[in-house]
Structure 1
Amino acid sequence: MLDLHDLLFFSLAALVLVLTPGPNMIYCVSRALCQGRAAGLLSLAGVLLGFVVHLAAASLGLTALLLAVPFAFDALRLAGAAYLLWLAWQAVRPGGTAPFQPRALPADPPARLFGMGFVTNVLNPKVAMFYLSFFPQFLHPQAGSVLVQTLQLGALQIGISGAVNCALVLGAARITAFLSRSEGWLRAQRWVMGSVLAALAVRIALPERR
């Protein structure tokens, strides 16, 4: 069973990562702006199902890897730190992407909206990297089943991602209109996000070995 400290720290990391620009956010927000909130929410449902696929693969793979190769923890810990540093750079680099810069999309029927949301997430390398490199930071083999712990983390991450993206979809039009009039808010959002990601990377790279 995961302790409260780990759950809170993981929740913060999951929140920051879901707020970083990526295919899932851009797709759902674009659908909401082009086709309405219902289309955005249906697309988000497909995205959340895609998370389940990533979670199942990561749960089985991490369980086998961490039990078979003891030093894999350190390798995955450093990989997770490097990945967060890369995300931090993507957030603050000149010409970096802002979350509310959606692309125009044609109107699609419900089945295609759901399917495209699912495919967009399943093929999203950001999600796969997050699961494989970040989850091991919070796994404690001595505390019980690694599989159960991974599923707990996954359920928490999916819940946070679903809640945040749902709020973004429902408020997409108003948020986009506000941000389009304030470049300062866009720059501040990127720098705050990049700073938090960098701090998380340092925290992950320098923990005591579990």
Structure 2
Amino acid sequence: MPAPEVLLAFAAVCFAAAIAPGPDILLISSRAVARGPLGGALAAFGVVTGLSVHILLAATGLTALFASSMAAFEVIRWAGVGYLLYLAWGLLRDSGDGPASDQPSAMRQYSSLFVQGLLTNLLNPKAVLFFLALLPQFVDPARGLVPIQIAILGLELMVIALAVFLSVAYLVGILGRGLARSPWLMRLQNRVFGGALAGTAIWLALAERR
């Protein structure tokens, strides 16, 4: 079991990581504006589910094994770049004029939002490096089984991240209700978030592995 002061310090790191601008926050915000707080929340749950996968990999030691493979890391990196560009293109081409006649059912829309959040997080190699480089600094083998400590820290990360993401989804979703009344404003926000996601994809493509 990690010491209380370790849990407190890790909580501060988790909050900073969750609130920092990145693919997760951008996706949740864009979906909250377009689909309201529920849309943002569904994307948030997808992102946190992706975090749970990273935590499982870290607890079993597979994160280090994966990160040691340059080929595997590059596959995930370029898959992430491609997926972010795909999401950005979807926003940039959205006219913001309202639902089309062939709009998918509500259930399909909801599941799509969840999957978008899940894939955005899973295909982010920076998340892999976060668990590889940062998480071990808060683990002390003298305080018990390392996988158990990683699981506890991972649960703390998930709770804090979910709280932050849901707060963002709610606040941005409320703002989105006003934007939804104006097709021009919806087009503008689509361009802003689409451009931000495209910029993030380019940054990820050009960033060196740390």
For this structure pair, what is the TM-score category when the shorter chain's length is used for normalisation? 0.5 to 0.7
Q: Which amino acid aligns with 1:128?
A: V
Change in Cα spacing, 1:64 to 1:130, as seen in structure 2 (3 Å) is: closer
Structure 2 gap segments, 5+ residues each? 66-89, 179-210
SS in 2 for 1:7: helix
Q: Which residue of 2 aligns with 1:152?
A: 152
**In the TM superposition, what are the counterparts of 1:8-23 in structure 2 within 5 Å?**
8-23=8-23
Does structure 1 retain, via aligned residues, the 8 Å contact 2:33–2:172? yes
Distance, in Å, in 2 between the alignment partners of 1:170 and 1:64 is: 36
Over aligned residues, Cα RMSD in angstroms? 2.4
Distance, in Å, in 1 between the alignment partners of 2:8 and 2:36 is: 34
Q: Which amino acid aligns with 1:150?
A: I
Matched pairs, number = 140
Does structure 2 retain, via aligned residues, the 8 Å contact 1:63–1:147? no
Residue 28 in 1 paired to residue 25 in 2?
A: no
Q: Which amino acid aligns with 2:124?
A: N
Q: Which residue of 1 aligns with 2:49?
A: 49
Does structure 2 retain, via aligned residues, the 8 Å contact 1:139–1:149? yes
SS in 1 for 2:91: coil
Does structure 1 retain, via aligned residues, the 8 Å contact 2:24–2:120? yes
Q: Which residue of 2 aligns with 1:104?
A: 91
Does structure 2 retain, via aligned residues, the 8 Å contact 1:34–1:104? no
Distance, in Å, in 2 between the alignment partners of 1:115 and 1:40 is: 12
Residue 114 in 1 paired to residue 114 in 2?
A: yes
Runs of 4+ in 1 over 2 A off after TM superposition: 62-65, 103-108, 173-177
Return 107-116 or 41-50, whichever deviates more: 107-116
Identity %: 34
User: Deviation digits for residues 92-137 of structure 1, max 9, x if unmatched?
Assistant: xxxxxxxxxxx93757711111111111110112221111111111
Does structure 2 retain, via aligned residues, the 8 Å contact 1:32–1:38? yes
Does structure 1 retain, via aligned residues, the 8 Å contact 2:54–2:63? no
Distance, in Å, in 2 between the alignment partners of 1:38 and 1:168 is: 11
TM-score with structure 1 length normalisation?
0.61
Change in Cα spacing, 1:118 to 1:17, as seen in structure 2 (3 Å) is: same
Displacement of 1:27 after TM fit? 0.1
